[in-house]
Structure 1
């Protein structure tokens, strides 16, 4: 919002302050309201559409505890949660002013101030407030748009959309929990796209697949000569994401040593490249994701609790597809539309038998599995009406443990079936599956590629 269109309220018991601010802003703002007595705040806010408030920290009132500003800030946020508040403080009250930021103040101003600095702060906060409101309005409009990858109308997905709506405009660290294939990466991107960092980089890193050496080089960067293959200086992903969002996927699979290094970076907000002693300041919004339940992350033998607290300011749980009542058909039609266009097919419809088959399946691979099922069906279908026979589900579900036998099966099929069972047992966690199979992650990935899994 432009300051020219804004109404500014100044609340201070010093008439000189009121006069000075009003003289400064009267030619800049739409309207400037001054008030000496904070007891009148509620009635003023009811009578006027106030965009921003400058609120003193101390008043000669009955409260007079040294925390008057915090008291009235809480009241303002109770009456008008979305109004922007700047606290006015003396040097001796800076600790209180910092506390006010945690209570919902947008910024604080120390007396005496420079007029140009005050104008800059007000204009900047008005711009952020407008972006914030725009992001909130856009979410409900976009959540079921076919161009938006987050699709769903179930009550569980409504809870996800609501939480994304609330947290996107903040800089809070987010932990996204959920089974493989539920769309955790899409939620991370949706949060970034609706944040105030939307025009800055969104950097994704699959940290679960990185060795200790690669972990440091990939995230923190390196100087030329730091190790054998370091032929030039290279910025890490933290630096690449500066000003934007860094998304660390599979965070539950990193080692305790990697966790310690990550915690240090997050605490200091500085990163030092391998081979260098010079730290670089970083400004990132951190989003992490894991398929582990939060109870496993709370296990000290597996994950540092101090890091869990650091990455988990707000938690988003992505529900498995089998629990999203009503969303299966919606998603199937969504993917059918996408792949019909991609493969130049006519508009696709579904027979009753196809819909029944889709709704009766448990989807161990969640939305990702449904997506692949629909892509394959669109490619292979002989008609623009999909039938039950066009829908081929994963061999994991088609294998009955009771009836299974390896008699007369080729060795390759035995190996493939065993790999599928172990991956399913560990809910798609490749690291755990490889460990049980006695393979490295790389060796397991080669076999997955070999068998087209």
Structure 2
């Protein structure tokens, strides 16, 4: 059975061409011969050939091999993934070494042994296939990274508060400095992390997003640093951690303020030493990542309270970016609302929807305690519930949260719980530790509830 391979033979000796063609035609699907190397570019579908056998001398009484080197370089420029085997009757060790340095995969002396040259060609054929697969995988990986990094939309708005933050973001992006992004829930901290990555020197590599608060203590090291087979009961295979995946790229640790104190030391060690060790292994793996962290907690206050390590804070806080809440970006509310209106009108096939003056006035008067996330959910809900492809003021049932007291009459238990959490967070300036202590719940429970209630 013939292999699905294509072989090109280039030699000025017709006898050599005939002998090799006869030897290879029963093994390979296509065998093409060429007596003059000047005809290389005229070979049909040249890039589809798997192996080229190239003579080193084409002029009479010349045996320096210089002609072969010239055409080898030409071939590597035109078909870099194709394996090239050099042939000559005037070979020595130095010449053979030089051909390999120039990019040939092997060197064959004339006259040849049939079995040996068949083995040499087959090895070159397999190598060429592997190189092409590798190149395809690299291209696919690059394309995948590009898709991942391009899935986010631009940061919308022109308010002075936003422009100030964007100016800082642009300056820090080109460095490898660690960045701490803070701000209330729903302000778009992850969006700013992605913007930094897109403008960074690592933008051709991947951005790995890790929600730290969602990691249980038992899985923390495995998720971030990886593990080897047999490291623990369910470790049936080796696993690469998030830091290793992000090597040469960026890792974004969201909700860093919710990381338990006992795990902060492990993270600090990795950041300081720039290396990880997979769970169950002793092998040290160097890492080179750009670190971006985000939180809605006051980490300085947590340091004072002893719930966040001061040395870790300084490691992640080379540059601090505070994202302004939506209420301080009043000029941006309508522009952002229009963006989400177009997005969801297209999604739910509600064409022609517009924000009329009374609606804009109502949106501008709202305090937006849930920030951009609240505005997004509000617009989506209104688009879904709108009738006759027209929005009215009554479609915008905005929740006005009261911070000092609230009437529990006609409230559901969920609504009461949501208001209690909002008030407690307000009282403690967004500090999750103090809020959780007041409410008698754990920080993780509090975090889960804020996500559930979209606070």
Asked whether 1:157 is paired with 2:155, we answer: no
Name which of 395, 405, 408 aligns with 2:408. Answer: 405
**8 Å contact from structure 1 (residues 178, 290) kept in 2:** yes
Query: How far is the alpha carbon of 1:209 from its aligned partner?
Result: 2.6
- Which of residues 285, 290, 311 in structure 1 aligns to 2:290? 285
Q: Which whole-Å CA distance do the structure 1 matches of 2:315 and 2:452 have between them?
A: 40
What's the offset of the Cα at 1:205? 0.6
Over 3 Å counting, the alpha-carbon distance change for 1:302 and 1:238 in structure 2 is same
Deviation digits for residues 392-428 of structure 1 (CA, Å, limit 9, x no counterpart): 223xx2568655134xx58xx1244223421453267
Mark the runs of 5 or more structure 2 residues left unpaired by the alignment.
1-150
**Superposed displacement of residue 233, structure 1:** 1.2
- Among 374, 377, 394, the alignment partner of 1:372 is 377
After TM superposition, the structure 1 = structure 2 runs for residues 65-214 of structure 1, keeping only pairs within 5 Å, are 148-214=153-219
Structure 2: how far apart are the matches of 1:261 and 1:442? 19
The question of 1:426 aligning with 2:425 is answered: yes
Show CA shifts across 1:49-79 (max 9, x none).
Answer: xxxxxxxxxxxxxxxxxxxxxxxxxxxxxxx
Residue by residue over 1:13-54, the C-alpha shift from the partner in whole angstroms, topping out at 9 and shown as x without a partner, is: xxxxxxxxxxxxxxxxxxxxxxxxxxxxxxxxxxxxxxxxxx
Contact 1:337 1:347 in 2 (8 A): no
Change (3 A) 1:436 1:231: farther
Q: TM-score, normalised by structure 2?
A: 0.61
User: Which digits, 9 at most, give the CA deviation of each residue in 1:259-286, with x for residues without a partner?
Assistant: 1111110111000111111110001000
Check if 1:330 corresponds to 2:335: yes
Instruction: Name the CA distance, whole Å, in 2 between partners of 1:452 and 1:182.
Output: 12
Cα distance in 2, alignment partners of residues 287 and 350 from structure 1: 36
- In 2 relative to 1, CA 194–424 (structure 1 residues): closer, same or farther, beyond 3 Å? farther
1:297–1:308 Cα contact (<8 Å) kept: no
Distance 2:441 2:335 in 1: 39
Question: Are the structure 2 counterparts of residues 356 and 250 from structure 1 closer, same or farther at C-alpha, using a change threshold of 3 Å?
Answer: same
- In structure 2, the residue corresponding to 1:299 is in which secondary structure? helix
Pairing partner for 1:245 from 247, 250, 270: 250
Say if 1:423 and 1:430, in contact at 8 Å, map to a contact too: no
Among 223, 231, 238, the residue aligned to 2:236: 231
2:315 is paired with a residue whose SS is: helix
| Alignment deviations for residues 292-330 of structure 1 (CA, whole Å, 9 cap, x no partner) | 135325426121121111111111110000011301111
Quick one: structure 1 residues 252 and 442, their matched pair in 2 at CA, closer, same or farther if it must change by over 3 Å? closer
Conserved? CA contact 1:220–1:271, under 8 Å:
yes
Deviations 1:83-139 (A, max 9, x none): xxxxxxxxxxxxxxxxxxxxxxxxxxxxxxxxxxxxxxxxxxxxxxxxxxxxxxxxx
Write the distance in 1 (CA, Å) between the matches of 2:192 and 2:416: 32
Find the structure with the greater CA-based Rg: 2
**Judging changes above 3 Å, is the alpha-carbon distance between structure 1 residues 449 and 294 closer, same or farther for their aligned structure 2 residues?**
closer
Separation in 2, partners of 1:166, 1:277: 39
Q: CA deviation at 1:433?
A: 5.8
Q: Over aligned residues, Cα RMSD in angstroms?
A: 2.8
For 1:293 and 1:449, the matched residues in 2 are separated by 19
Residue matched to 1:355 = 360
TM-score for the superposition, normalised by structure 1: 0.61
- The 1:150/1:449 distance shift into structure 2, 3 A limit, reads closer
- Kept in 2: contact 1:204–1:248 (CA 8 A): yes
> What stretches of structure 1 of length at least 5 have no aligned partner?
1-145
| Compared CA separation, residues 280 and 313, structure 1 to 2 (3 A) | same
1:342, CA displacement in angstroms?
1.2
Deviations 1:132-162 (A, max 9, x none): xxxxxxxxxxxxxx98331110001101111
Alpha-carbon contact 1:351-1:385 (below 8 Å) kept: no
Distance in 1 of aligned mates of 2:166 and 2:321: 10
- CA distance in 2 between counterparts of 1:232 and 1:366 reads 42
